Structure 1
Amino acid sequence: MDLRQLTPALAVSPQLSLSDIPELSKAGFRVLINNRPDDEIGPDIDHEAMGQAAKAHGMRYHYLPFTPGQITPRLIADFSEAMAGRGPHIAYCRSGHRCTVLWALTQAGKRPEAEILETATQAGYDLEPIRPLIASLASKR
């Protein structure tokens, strides 16, 4: 596993396997957020398999598929809602980038833009291309 801590309550990761779920639960994660659409993976790790594994290990599970280039207000709101519950939380997609984008967009207007971008950079994700979107959301909050 390649966990990258964005905040004390949220880590992001590239694709997880079923065998990672027990380890994540033992490590104290309480919420699993899957941002990877099923059409990118096989049935052995689709949202149903991952959801069943998470629940079997006492974790809450959210399937919020994020297709690249298709950020919607509903997706941002759903990610924010998933993060509102008791954590810590782990979110994953192909590389962790889409999860980091969603986190950044939920933080727009709550944290300084520079802090959001730096947090992402320290985790290995370049969010400079979405800086205008972060600024736009921040101005509306």
Structure 2
Amino acid sequence: MEIRHVTEDYAVSPQITPEDVDAIREAGFKSIISHRPDDEVLDQPTAASIREAAEKAGLGFRHIPVSGSGMTQANVDEMRTALDELEGPVFAYCRSGTRSTNIFNVVEQGR
């Protein structure tokens, strides 16, 4: 798992598995946000499987799927709400980490 810090309280990564969640918690994160739509590729873990692992580990979780064709205003609004409501630091993932970085930057520019 490759963790890239965008800020002190927000980091991104490529796709994770349910087995990665304990390491995410041990790294000090309190919440996980998934930006990857389910079924983007055949063998990717579902958001529900990551949510289940996160909840078992005592972490907050949100699924805000952002398609590869781009984020919507609804995605940005959901992300803003998630960042306001979830305990940080927050760990976010998508296929490569780029969508998770981009949506965070859009939200922060609008604050």
TM surpasses 0.5: yes
Shift of 1:40: 1.1
Q: Which residue is equivalent to 1:6?
A: 6
Moved more, 68-77 or 35-44: 35-44
Q: 1:43 to 1:50 in 2, by over 3 A?
A: farther
Q: Which residue is equivalent to 1:76?
A: 76
Distance (Å, rounded) in 2 between the aligned partners of 1:55 and 1:42: 24
Q: 1:53 to 1:43 in 2, by over 3 A?
A: farther
Report the 3-state secondary structure (helix = DSSP H, G, I; strand = E; otherwise coil) of the residue aligned with 1:40: coil
Determine which structure has the larger helix proportion and give its number: 1
Shift of 1:78: 0.7
Per-residue displacement from partner, 1:18-73 (whole Å, max 9, x unpaired)?
Answer: 11101111221111000001021447610110110000000011011110123211
Is the contact between residue 60 and residue 87 of structure 2 (CA under 8 Å) also seen in structure 1? no
Distance (Å, rounded) in 1 between the aligned partners of 2:30 and 2:99: 20
Task: Read off the aligned partner of 1:99 and give its amino acid letter.
Answer: S
Report the 3-state secondary structure (helix = DSSP H, G, I; strand = E; otherwise coil) of the residue aligned with 1:6: strand
Q: Which residue is equivalent to 2:101?
A: 100
Q: CA RMSD in A?
A: 1.4
Is the contact between residue 15 and residue 96 of structure 2 (CA under 8 Å) also seen in structure 1? yes
Percent identity (aligned): 32
Task: Read off the aligned partner of 1:37 and give its amino acid letter.
Answer: P
Task: Read off the aligned partner of 1:105 and give its amino acid letter.
Answer: V
Task: Read off the aligned partner of 2:57 and give its amino acid letter.
Answer: H
Is the contact between residue 16 and residue 92 of structure 1 (CA under 8 Å) also seen in structure 2? yes
Q: Which residue is equivalent to 1:65?
A: 65
Is the contact between residue 79 and residue 103 of structure 1 (CA under 8 Å) also seen in structure 2? yes
Is the contact between residue 43 and residue 49 of structure 1 (CA under 8 Å) also seen in structure 2? no
Distance (Å, rounded) in 2 between the aligned partners of 1:43 and 1:68: 17
Q: Which residue is equivalent to 1:46?
A: 46
Where in structure 1 do 4 or more consecutive aligned residues deviate above 6 Å? none
